Amino acid sequence: MPQTCPFCSPASVVASTPTALVLHDGFPLTHGHTLVVPRRHVASLFELSAEEQAELWQLVTQVRSALVEQLHPDGFTVGVNDGEAAGQTVPHAHIHVIPRYVGDVADPRGGIRWVLPEKAAYREASS
């Protein structure tokens, strides 16, 4: 595990299990933006075993439920950037749980499609 990995030795941990950590995102997109990070240092979620992946997704569900109770968001964006070309900036696998609120963007339609802006408004293009 690299000594410079912010997920291997985080400054603060919200919650933990034997296989994962829950962290506040250091550069949150919205209030409550949270990360679920495996303890094992791998670059991609797909390097984890099926059991490890299942445990992470169970934790994502628990984090989402806690955020619903605490913050009452209107929705969620849950996602993974897998590889540098996909926008992954920390080469330690992690899952973003991002609470969404009505009005946090002018038009949320297309959601994650906005990673490729020219393809995001696909509904309008096909009309």
Name the residues annotated as catalytic: 94
Distances 57 to 33, 65, 85, 98, 117 between C-alpha atoms, Å: 16, 12, 23, 14, 28
Residue 52, SS3?
Answer: helix
Q: Of 87, 27, 94, give the one whose Cα is nearest residue 60.
A: 94
For residue 102, what are its two tokens?
Answer: 């009505």
